[in-house]
Amino acid sequence: MDRFQNRISFNINDKVFLKDPNSSELGTKIIQGSIDLIEDLGLENFTFKKLSQYISSTEASVYRYFESKHHLLTYLVLWYWGWQEYRIIMRTTNIDDPKKRLRRAIKVLTEKIEEDSQFAEINEVKLNRIVIAESSKIYLIKNVEKENSLGFFSQYKEVVNRVSDIILEINPNYKYPHMLVSTIIEGAHHQRYFAEYIPSLTDICDEEDAITTFYQNLALKEL
């Protein structure tokens, strides 16, 4: 079991899994396989049966790690926001100007992830696509409040708070930092999704990364 202990990983709320997938080889295969399959099939068509076949295990074994595909998705999204927080820290420390820091943070949160390099067991490109297309489903459910009280959205909140703090540095009297940040995060996800699948809902643009630029400017004009 020792060989799995020193993996680079974020501390993920242990109520989201039955058994820590980071503690075994099968667990790692569940995470890797689910990222592949959810990205490929969509959450609707993804099942634990298909996953278990994909990773050459059994349905019952997968159920020993996660009580449902919904919890598995929640785990992936928690991981994602842990990773994003880490990226924001990496890319904003040692920058004095809070406006510049805000621009950087918005870039991190709104840019398209195109390289998968940092973590062997996680394909960040696919995970980013999953978060864009599926993450809102983790809270658009009847028992949001219960899952909220279990801390399933805490990682997301931390990211929102961190960026809100930068906003308050720029304008200490600004009343709605959380609203602004979550509008930007969710908005950027929507725009990326629309741009790919329902382009008539967005504005055609040749610009290199119009979505990031749009939200950076929106935020700075607002403050």
Q: Which one, 21 or 177, has the nearer CB to a copy of itself?
A: 177
Which of residues 67, 120, 205, 209 is near a copy of itself by CB under 8 A?
205
CB of 52 to DNA, least distance (A): 7
Interatomic CA distance for residues 220 and 27, integer angstroms: 43
Region 171-200 residues binding a copy of itself, contact defined as CB under 8 A: 175-180, 182-183, 186-187, 190-191, 193-194, 197-198, 200
Q: What DSSP string runs through 88-153?
A: HHHHHTT---HHHHHHHHHHHHHSPP----S-TT--HHHHHHHHHHHGGGGTSSTTHHHHHHTTTT
Interatomic CA distance for residues 82 and 91, integer angstroms: 14
Of 83, 118, 88, nearest in space to 104 by CA: 88
CB of 63 to DNA, least distance (A): 4
Q: Are 58 and 52 in contact (CB under 8 A)?
A: yes
Q: Does 69 bind DNA (CB under 7 A)?
A: yes
Provide the terminal-to-terminal Cα distance of the chain, rounded to the nearest Å: 50
Residue 177 binds which of DNA, a copy of itself, none (CB < 5-8 A, kind-dependent): a copy of itself
Interatomic CA distance for residues 157 and 121, integer angstroms: 25
What mask of x and - would describe binding to DNA in positions 4 to 43, judged by CB under 7 A?
A: ---------------x---xxxxx----------------
Interatomic CA distance for residues 177 and 179, integer angstroms: 5
Q: Are 207 and 200 in contact (CB under 8 A)?
A: no
The residues of the shown chain that bind a copy of itself, judged by CB under 8 A, are 41-42, 44-45, 133-134, 136-137, 139-142, 144-145, 148, 153, 156-157, 160, 175-180, 182-183, 186-187, 190-191, 193-194, 197-198, 200-203, 205, 210-211, 214, 217-218, 221-222
Which positions touch DNA (CB under 7 A)? 1-2, 19, 23-27, 45, 47-49, 56-61, 63-64, 67-70
